[in-house]
Each structure stands twice: as C-alpha cells, then as structure tokens.
Amino acid sequence: MAANPYQKYKQTSITSAPREQILLMLYEGAIKFTKLAMQAAEQKKVAERGTNLMRAYDIIMELQVSLDHKVGGDIAKQLDQLYTFILDQYTKANVSGEVEPLKNALKVIENLYEGWKGAVEKYKKEQDAKGGTA
C-alpha cells in the first residue's frame, strides 16, 4: 500500500531538517498540543484532553532526556528544571481537569520557544555572513 503523499512529504521534511529546526518543530508541537488540551479541558472533553496532554508530555519528555548536561552545563540544568515544571503542570492538569496548570506550562513553553527561535535566527545570520565572505 502506497504511503500518503502528505505523510511522505512530512516525514522527509522532518528527517532532512537541521537539528535547530527540529528543536523549533518540537516546541511548536508542544505549544499546539497544550493549546488543544486547554480547549478540550474547557469543553470538558476528557479523552481529547488526555490525548493532547500525552502528546505534549511526550514532546517535553523527549526534550528533557535529550539534554546534554556535560556540554550544556548550567543552561542544561535550568532547562531540565523548566521541563520538570512543565511536566508537573501537565500531570496536575491531567489529574484535576483544570486549565490553569496548562496555562502555566504554555507560558513557559512559549518563552522557551521564542528564546530558541531568536537564537536560531542569530545563528543562521552568523552562518550566512561566514558563507558570504568565504
């Protein structure tokens, strides 16, 4: 059975993306699924809330376990603490059904995303400048 062309394109775009782009895609996914979980919580759709929470949880967990504490030092330690906070908020939201912990998690994820996005843009500009002078 042939693969869906969109799925094939999506898979190719992920596997061929640079590491920094994958990082941003992971954050975008966490933001998306957290917002969907918030909507479901507000609408009292328990199963939908749980599904989206699990997806967001898995993404943040992947980000956390991929931290390199030897190379990252204090930054890795701080990210680890932030990821733990986010995961705790997801757990609270899952148990209570409340939206507030999701808002707390979303605020942290969006701040991290904006920080990484700025760093990636700066890195790309520096690489372009090096490439232009070579």
Structure confidence at residue 43 as a pLDDT band (50, 70, 90): very high
Structure confidence at residue 18 as a pLDDT band (50, 70, 90): confident
Tell me the whole-structure pTM to 2 decimals: 0.83
Determine the Cα–Cα distance for residues 6 and 133; give it in Å rounded to an integer: 38
Structure confidence at residue 134 as a pLDDT band (50, 70, 90): very low
For residue 40, which of 91, 94, 85 has the smallest C-alpha distance?
94
Q: Which CATH class is domain 18-129?
A: mainly alpha
| Residue that has been written with the tokens 């909507």 in this structure | 39
Number of H helices, E strands in the chain: 5, 0
Task: List, for residues 45-98, the tens digit of each pLDDT value.
Answer: 999 999 999 999 999 999 999 999 999 899 999 999 999 999 999 999 999 999
